[in-house]
Structure 1
């Protein structure tokens, strides 16, 4: 897989997982099945509109394109600029969370990213860091540092930060071709020491992976409104359907929890693993702003290749 194809795969993956879950966010399962049938929603609408999850992932990608080869402070200066720009733009109409909105206001007032985040465990930090896992695939220390910084700018909570680093690391694992059955162990080795709550939630995956009832398996892990649950639910879906992108994101979003966020994280992992050919081509064709998303992926790939070479 070329660097360009790797970049497109995780970006298409996250955006389409987000777009699949976006129409049913906040809905109860009985409402979802009433509207879409017993299997729930199975494909994104046309056009496939994405939420703030993809929008803020774009913010992170632009920051890496601009400053990814420099230190964390430089990356965060760029992130702050792009994040404030997004928050104040007309495009910011896709229901961002309160914590994210408040952090944008705080950053706009000139407060440092080290102090702008609230002590909250929401998933708004974890949904945007897939580009970090891609860009720093071969520089894991940088991955951890930058993902933690990008996370704490809005969610300065140890559990949320650990889960945010974990979400980025999942993309690295998928790109590395790591065996999906080893995802939990590899994540625990990489970030397990950061936070006990996140580690304990990851361990729940081992309890439910063999369950035939996937709906209850996901529910056992959590609802996804908090970062550690959203990431663990996504890892479960990626392990349960490692080579079937559609099945993985369908399982991720058909929940009473935070459908688009779990779909976004799951989509980034499985998309990175299966590549662009493994994502339904008709889904890609209906993705909102496809030309711009593709251009973003290609620019990110070019920057990664320039900084780290093609590996």
Structure 2
């Protein structure tokens, strides 16, 4: 089963499926302009976000995921200098610091803040992160989680290192790393069930997953100085438990969210990661063997449906593998053959027991 390819392609397809119907917070307007049930790629209206792009295109967040995939393949592992060089030479010259501009039709807050500090202010990497509470870091790091799925410590350290390039809030970074720890488990063959939280906590206790454990040992608070943030500094491993509780809700017959797209109303439609992750976990558990249902319910919930669909798509894609993603979603994705080639190379590297 091609779980690595399923994760990254599942994310890119979720991103592209939401491109034409992104950021409708008025659900009546969404239904009126995009139809009662979105089932495929849409061309964005010219007066909305991503106007000028076509059905099947990916957003800037998707392009950043592809950029990181290319870096991992070229370097046979995560090399921060290679990735930041790509940002400096391939992305940042196309930005001007405003939202409605740049590749993909929209530039998210964390990337705008990094651009401002890096380009006009000439700061070094390591001093360019901002306070965005959103999911961009978690989304591009999907490639790292898939690549290092069999090496949880290396995965967590590389994911954290990449996310803190653009985001500096420790709680947001912890939740972003936790999402990718869940994803790595799924790529490794697990399913998103209520037991996944216990599995991740066992990795923390064994030292395989380097989260700070607050309930045992000689407790020391995380470093507060100028030291670069690292994964072991998180104040607790609680972010690792969210997926298991969402899965428990999906399995509990007394908890009913019908239709499932209303998960966006239960957990919230906004962009912040604490709205996005519970909804993605819920959908990825409820529809863990049904990629199409999972992403379509993510999209039809409106609001920040692009992140919801990208995160959900990665989680379900990892569980069903590339072969479990409907073929029409792959054929309708622009540049799909390029992305499939990168995904296949990632799959080959990830299959090795110890990647560099």
How many residues matched? 301
The corresponding residue for 1:98 is: 109
Instruction: Show the 5 A alignment for 1:36-55.
Output: 36-38=34-36, 40-45=37-42, 47-55=55-63
Other-structure match for 2:291 = 245
Which of 16, 20, 25 is 1:19 aligned to? 16
Q: CA separation in 2, counterparts of 1:206 and 1:16?
A: 23
Match for residue 227 of structure 1? 273
SS in 1 for 2:274: helix
Query: CA 1:160–1:30 in 2, change beyond 3 Å: closer, same or farther?
Result: same
Tell me the residue number matched to 1:6. Answer: 3
Question: Does residue 211 of the first structure (1) align with residue 256 of the second (2)?
Answer: yes
Q: Which moved more, 1:189-198 or 1:217-226?
A: 189-198
RMSD between aligned alpha carbons? 2.7
* Cα gap change, 1:14 to 1:61, in 2 (>3 Å): same
Q: TM-score, normalised by structure 1?
A: 0.85
Task: Check whether the contact 2:5–2:346 (CA below 8 A) recurs between aligned residues.
Answer: no
Equivalent in 83, 92, 95 of residue 79 of structure 1: 83
Contact residue 132 and residue 146 of structure 1 kept, 8 A: yes
Quote the Cα distance in structure 1 between the aligned partners of 2:156 and 2:240: 16
- Where does 1:53-64 land on structure 2 (aligned, <5 Å)? 53-64=61-72
| Displacement of 1:281 | 0.3
Report SS of the residue matched to 1:148. Answer: helix
Query: Structure 1: where are the runs of 5+ without partners?
Result: none
Residues 118-163 of structure 1 deviation map (CA, whole Å, 9 limit, x = unaligned): 1231222111111111111111111111111111111111121112
TM-superposition CA deviations, 1:81-103 (whole Å, max 9, x none): 12222232487243121221221
Residues 21 and 253, structure 1, Cα contact 8 Å, conserved in 2? yes
Matched-pair contact (CA < 8 Å) for 1:17–1:264: yes
Provide Cα deviations, 1:263-310, integer angstroms capped at 9, x if missing partner: 11111111111112211101101111112112221232344356737x
In structure 2, the CA distance between the partners of 1:256 and 1:192, relative to structure 1 (3 Å rule), is farther
- Cα deviation for residue 13 of structure 1 reads 0.6
Please, which runs of 5 or more residues in structure 2 have no aligned partner? 43-53, 96-101, 205-210, 214-233
SS at match of 1:256: coil
CA distance in structure 2 between the partners assigned to 1:157 and 1:229 by the alignment: 16
Question: What is the match of residue 236 of structure 1?
Answer: 282
Please give the alpha-carbon distance, in whole angstroms, between the structure 2 residues aligned to 1:101 and 1:41: 30
Whether the aligned pair in 2 keeps the contact of 1:63 and 1:78 (CA below 8 Å) is yes
So what's the TM-score if we normalise by structure 2? 0.75
Q: Does 1:293 align with 2:339?
A: yes
1: distance between equivalents of 2:10 and 2:177?
Answer: 19
Contact map agreement 1:249 1:266 (CA 8 A) in 2? yes
Going from structure 1 to structure 2, the CA distance change for 1:195 and 1:126 (only over 3 Å counts) comes to: farther
2:178–2:239 Cα contact (<8 Å) kept: no
CA distance in 2, matches of 1:78, 1:22: 28
Counterpart residue number, 2:217 = none
- Flag the structure with larger Rg: 2
Please show how residues 139-158 of structure 1 align to structure 2 within 5 Å.
Answer: 139-158=151-170
What is the rounded CA distance, in whole Å, between the counterparts of 1:293 and 1:208 in structure 2?
Answer: 34
Alignment check: 8 A CA contact 1:133 1:171 kept: yes
Structure 1 residues 257 and 212: alpha-carbon distance in aligned structure 2, compared to 1, 3 A threshold? same
Q: Is the 8 A contact 2:192 2:244 kept in 1?
A: no
